[in-house]
Amino acid sequence: MRLSFAYLFLLLTLISLGPWTGEPAAQDQSPEVHLARIEGGIDGRTAAYVDRVISEAEDSGVGAVVLELDTPGGRLDSTQEIVETESNAGDVAILTYVAPRGAQAASAGTFVVMGSDVAAMAPQTRLGAAHPVDARGGDILGTLGEKATNDAAALMRGLAGAHGRNGEWAESSVRESASVDAREALELGVVEHVEPDLDSVLEAVDGETVEPKGITLRTSGATVVEKPMTFAERTGIQPYVLWTLAALAALFVFSVSLTYRRMRRWRVSTGSEGMIGEVGTVRRPVAPGVGGLVFVHGERWRAFPEDHNRVTIKTGAEVEVVALRNGAVFVRPVANTKGSDGPRKLRE
């Protein structure tokens, strides 16, 4: 039981804290860049993840965070949260990189790219198709659809303008679902860099000053520290839920163990082992070879004398059970064991 509790405690502690990804500082004090990967649909968990990574970077004095994207889109409200986090990180430059080859930053991902301080894409990636849709992927009809489109277009154009990007194309990605590949995005002024890998991106942007934050990037030779999602961010299950489940599981294990021990004791006390040493009363004379009846253990039992050469044990005499075979008890008079006044084993 103690080992079970220890293992359970250790497992839940590791799960609730998430993977440890810290690395010791380099001997030469090279700059650090924190990397968060946004893969799959964007939702509230994604927004919380991005907020945590950027907040940790601010707290530790890291100058840049890279958001590596491969997403088909997601919730507009969660995307708005990410954009706000990017924009309000005054001391940290946010770089977006659409990667690997073949990846996309479609729909909601386009807003994240437009909200970043530096936007880069890997070759053979794509960006755009940001027209708002409903939860099932269909058009939002009527006045509500028009309002959603206008609001999203204004947000996209504003983000592009704040970072010196092509606002006309940005708006068309919302109103017309316009999409571009990496080469077109670079030519149209939608992104600043097209590079084959992250190291190349960091080399290319080194020394740039990003606006409107006014941060000069120092990323050449930087140590990239990956910041994966925690268990809670991946699943949406908060640590306190895990601890509650752990407590319930521990109570269940304890209850099962206690019940098992009680059942074992009950089987011993109610089986043949429990009968040995019990004291009962003769109800019908117990004769050698013939047997009789005794009342013991709260029941009537067919009984035979332990010593086949003994005389018949009379009705009313107290006897002690010495064996149980084939559904019958074998007994001997109490007076012939330790005396009539000797210690007896009584049923509790």
* C-alpha closest to that of 322 among 262, 267, 292, 278: 278
Q: Which of 4, 60, 147, 255 is catalytic?
A: 147
Dihedral sign, CA of 186, 198, 233, 87? Answer: negative
The Cα–Cα gap between 224 and 336 comes to: 89
Tokens of 280: 């009962």
The SS3 of residue 20 is coil
Joined together, the tokens standing for residue 152 give: 């999203």
Q: Is 313 helix (H, G, I), strand (E, B) or coil?
A: strand
Catalytic pick among 87, 107, 172, 173: 107
CA distance linking residue 229 with residue 37, whole number of Å: 8
- Give the C-alpha separation, 27 to 22, whole Å: 15
Look-up: residue for tokens 């599981």?
249
Q: Answer yes or no: 147 catalytic.
A: yes
Closest among 324, 116, 80, 126 to 210, alpha carbons compared: 116
- For 69, residues 6+ apart whose C-beta sits below 8 A from its C-beta are 38, 96, 97, 98, 99, 103, 105, 109, 112, 113
List the catalytic residues: 107, 147
